[in-house]
Each structure stands twice: as structure tokens, then as C-alpha cells.
Amino acid sequence: MKIKIKFFGSFRQRFSREPVEIDLPEGSCVGDVVAPIGERFPGFAQLGYQPLLAVNDCFEKPDKTLEDGDHVNLFPPVHGGATDH
């Protein structure tokens, strides 16, 4: 399934201003975007922290299942940054 990825915060300057699209197998979770993004943008794989993950403008835990066409937003941990979702 096709997932659209957008970078936020300092990620945008560091990785890509434009959204990128990745292909993931059915049933993938939002946490599964990290590895392919890390392959495409090596610096992303070397972050010393966990990025924050949001699906369709809502922060989610990495085990949230994705659906075809979902938008995933990636954030560095700004101003604290944990979420309980």
C-alpha cells in the first residue's frame, strides 16, 4: 500500500521539504515506516532518538496499523514530545 510521508520540524531542512511516498505491505504499522525512510535518508537511521509518528494528523504509537493512502507525519521530539496515543 502507498503511504505518504511528510517531514516536520528540523527534519524538513535535514531530509526533504517535499513529501515522499513509500510502499509498504498490507497490515504494516506506522513504526514500519522508520526503516525504509532510514534507507532513503541515511541520517534518519542515525538519529539518537525516536522520532514522533503521526497518522492523518494524530500522534500514534508505533504499533498503529496503517491503511492504504494514509499520511504519516514525522517529527523530532519538540518541546517534550511524548504522547499517550
Partner 1 sequence: MPNGYNGKILIVDLTKGKWEVETPDEKFYRTYMGGSALNMYYALKLIPKGADPLGPDNVLCLSTSIVTGVPVSGQSRMTASAKSPMSGGAGDSQCGGFFPAEMKAAGYDAIILKGKSPKPVYLWIKQGEVELRDASKLWGKVTGDVEQALKEELGDKKIEIAQIGPAGEKMVRYAAIMNMSNRANGRTGMGAVMGSKNLKAVVVRGKPKLKPAHMDRIRELAKFGATNTKENPAVWDLHINGTCGVLSYQQQDGGLPTRNYNEGQYEDYEKISGETMTETILKDRDTCYACGVRCKRVVEVDERGYKAEALYGGPEYETIATHGSYCGIKDLAAIAEANQICNMYGLDTIQTGTSVAWAMECYERGMLSKDDLDGIDAKFGNAKAMVALVNKIARREGIGDLLAEGSKRAAAKVGKGSEDLCIGVKGQDMPAHMPQAKTSLALIYAVNAFGADHQSSEHDPSIDPASSASEKQKLSEIGLTKPLPVKDFSRDKVHYAYRTQSLYSVLDSVNLCQFVFGPAWQLYGPNQIVELVNAVTGWDTTIDELLKLGERRIAMMQAFNSREGLGHQDNVLPKKIHEPLKGKGPTAGSAIDRKVFDRAVQDYYEIAGWDKNARPTHSKLHELGVGWVAEAIGAS
User: Buried (b) or exposed (e) across 62-77, using 16+ Cβ within 10 A?
Assistant: eebebeeebebbbbbe
Task: Select the residue interacting with partner 1 from 2, 4, 69, 85 (CB under 8 A).
Answer: 85
- Asked whether position 10 contacts partner 1 by CB under 8 A, the answer is yes
Strands in 52-55's sheet, in edge-to-edge order, are: 20-23, 2-7, 71-75, 52-55, 58-59
- Asked whether position 8 contacts partner 1 by CB under 8 A, the answer is yes
Stretch that binds partner 1, among 24-32, 34-42, 55-63 (CB under 8 A): 55-63
Task: Select the residue interacting with partner 1 from 17, 23, 25, 26 (CB under 8 A).
Answer: 17
DSSP 33-58: GHHHHHHHSHHHHT-SSPPEEEETTE
The footprint of partner 1 on this chain (CB under 8 A) covers a number of residues equal to 26
Residues that bind partner 1 (CB under 8 A): 8-10, 12-13, 17, 48-50, 52, 54, 57-59, 73, 75-85
